[in-house]
Amino acid sequence: MIANRGEIAVRIERACAEMGIRSVAIYTEPDRFALHVKRADEAYFVGDDPLASYLDPRRLVDLARETGCEAIHPGYGFLAENAEFARICTEAGIAFIGPDSEAIAALGDKVAARRVMHAAGIPITPGGMAALGGLDESRALADGLGYPVMLKTLRGGGGRGLRRCDNATQLARAWETLPEESGEAELYLEKCIATAQHIEVQVLADRHGGVIHLFERDCSLQRRNRKLIEVAPSPWLTPEQRAYMGELAIQAAAAVGFENAGTVEFLVRGNEIYFMEMNPRIQVEHTVTEAVTGVDIVREQIRIAAGHKLAFRQEDIRHHGYAIQCRINAEDPKNDFLPSFGRVTRYYAPGGPGVRVDTAIHTGYRIPPHFDTLCLKLIVWGMTWEETLNRAVRALDDMRLQGVKTTAAYYEEILRHPALREGRFDTGFLATHPELLDYSSKRHPEEVALVIAAAIAAHAGL
| Helix/strand/coil percentages in the chain, nearest 5 | 40, 25, 35
Measured in whole angstroms, the distance separating CA 113 from the mean position of its chain's CA atoms is: 20
The H-or-E segment that residue 324 falls in is strand 322-329
CA distance 153 to 175: 10
How far from the centroid of its chain's Cα atoms is residue 451's Cα?
Answer: 35
242, 281, 356, 391: the catalytic one is 281
Q: How would you class 35 by CB atoms within 10 Å of its CB: exposed for 0-12, middle for 13-18, buried for 19 or more? A: buried
Whether 87 is catalytic = no
- C-alpha 116/C-alpha 108 separation (Å) is 12
CB 384 within 8 A of CB 341: no
C-alpha 13, offset from chain centre: 18
DSSP state, residue 127: B
Q: Which ranges of 309-417 would DSSP assign to H, the alpha helix?
A: 385-398, 408-416
**Burial (CB count <10 Å: 0-12, 13-18, 19+), residue 446:** exposed
282 within 8 A of 8, measured Cβ to Cβ: yes
What lies within 8 Å, CB to CB, of 369 at 6+ separation is 339, 341
CA distances (Å), origin 63, targets 33, 52, 55: 20, 16, 13
148 upstream amide cis, omega within 30 of 0? yes
Active centre residues (catalytic):
281
